[in-house]
Amino acid sequence: MNAGIWIGIIGGIIGLIVGITAVVATAGESGIYIGAGMLLVFGGMFYLFYRLFFKPMINANRLQKTGISSKAKILEVKDTGVTINDNPQVKLMLEVKNIFGQKYTTSCRVLVSRINPGAYQPGMEIPVKIDPKNELNVVIDFSGGSQNY
């Protein structure tokens, strides 16, 4: 992840702490309850954003660097109903072959360019990166540097 994302996350946490401290310091006895409410609401929102947006990005970046290269065959392509900048997100059901030659099925989500909607079709083989700690955790290897197994 780039430095801008970390600056935003850290800045948000600092802002939340400063805001709660200001409320508690200026509102007297009721400030503790207001501060606790702020912590609950905004802390919950931060956690939700982290789980939905930041954690998948961190995971994908980690796997692009440290994942095991392999190939996967696309078994099925499903629309998730999510679009980002008019680009649909699809869920790919993959048959992955690990380094021991064993085949197993897993899934991953990927954005598809609206200019190239047929980029992922059943039967295609694509390069993937496999998490060494959890082989069901797979991301598409966009560097294309996968080895054949």
pLDDT tens digit string along 29-38? 788 888 888 8
Instruction: Find the CATH number of the domain harbouring 107.
Output: 2.40.50
pLDDT tens digit string along 55-78? 888 888 889 899 998 899 999 999
Looking at the domain assignment, is residue 7 inside a domain? yes
**Domain housing 77:** 69-140
Q: In whole angstroms, what is the distance from residue 26 CA to residue 5 CA?
A: 32
Backbone angles phi, psi at 96, to 5 degrees: -105, 140
pTM listed for this prediction: 0.68
Domain closes at, from 48, 64, 80: 64
Amino acid at 40: L
Burial of 140 (0-12, 13-18, 19+ CB in 10 A): buried
Domain total for the chain?
2
Looking at the domain assignment, is residue 60 inside a domain? yes
Domain closes at, from 64, 91, 116: 64
Looking at the domain assignment, is residue 20 inside a domain? yes
Domain closes at, from 64, 79, 106: 64
